[in-house]
Amino acid sequence: MLKVDWLSQLYHWMPNNRPAFLHHFRIFLTLKEAISRFFKHPNNNRHRRRRFIPFIIAFLVVILFACIAAILLGILYKSQQQITTTSTSTGTSTTSSTTTATTTVTTTTTTTTTTDTTTTTTTTACYFGQDYVDLVEGGRRQISRLKTGDQVWTISHDGKRLIQDEIMCIPHAGPTTPTYFYTFKTLEEHTISLTDSHFILAMAKDEDKIKIIRASEVTLEHRLIMNHRTIGIEQIVYSERIGFYSPITLSGYLTVNNLSTSVYVEL
């Protein structure tokens, strides 16, 4: 039994709330009596465990769901941050792409200018396309119309005879390309045009030996080689003309407008 001396004192101390106090006190006694009977019953421990098991399971389930919810909220928060970061990065990439495009346009313009300059000053071993060669089958043909397999006449390297020769290939050609040529005009009105590094057979006036020299090194003091003889130079002109070709023969020589040349170039 509970000792209620202190409750009696409290009862007398609060005269204005005695009805409410008595009501709550009765409820308290009822709950106390029920709890006392529960723990005094021999099977109450077993019943208590059985009653607590669902409570514990429910409590664990609540905790599990709370953890899952917290994890999902964390993932959602991180995803939102990543989306924001990605949007910012995308805007930066767009700006960078625009800058790169501008740079590319500038580079292309510079390259075009360089290409035009290089094409105008071509120095490969080339002939002027409108000069002529003599065909073995008879007649003459412009260099621009030559093709692989054509049989042509060529002056031998010593300038003493004609030999039958063949066009092996034409590795370079620019029918519409502006190119600078040295044009040599002989005392007998023969002309031939070659790029500056192209080789031609010539002989100095004070020498009796044929040499192969660059077109840019030929002067009015040289004589050019024809079949069985040499011929003096009247004029040398350096000018731009349209169309170049570089036929290669089996012998390595090519006779153009009756003047002997080499098909090779000084590298």
Domain residue ranges of the chain, discontinuous segments joined by +:
127-265
Dist. CA 169–CA 147, nearest whole Å: 7
241 within 8 A of 191, measured Cβ to Cβ: no
pTM above 0.75, yes or no: no
Q: Considering the chain, what is the average pLDDT of its residues?
A: 78
Dist. CA 66–CA 172, nearest whole Å: 81
Query: What pLDDT, in 10s, does the model give residues 180-234?
Result: 999 999 999 999 999 999 999 999 988 889 999 999 999 999 999 999 999 999 9
Other CB atoms closer than 10 Å to residue 250's CB: what's the count? Answer: 14
Averaged pLDDT for residues 235-239: 97
Which range is least confidently modeled, 33-47, 60-74, 135-149, 239-253? 33-47
Identify which of 211, 221, 213 has the alpha carbon closest to the alpha carbon of residue 196.
213
What pLDDT shows up at residue 87? 47
Q: Taking 70 as the threshold, does the pLDDT of residue 80 lie above it? A: no
132 within 8 A of 141, measured Cβ to Cβ: yes
Instruction: Tell me the torsion sign for CA atoms 89, 91, 94, 98.
Output: negative
Of residues 62 and 33, more confidence is placed in: 62
Averaged pLDDT for residues 61-65: 80
What pLDDT shows up at residue 97? 41
Classify residue 14 by its DSSP letter: -
Q: Taking 70 as the threshold, does the pLDDT of residue 42 lie above it? A: no
Q: Taking 70 as the threshold, does the pLDDT of residue 51 lie above it? A: no
| CATH placement of domain 127-265 | 2.170.16.10
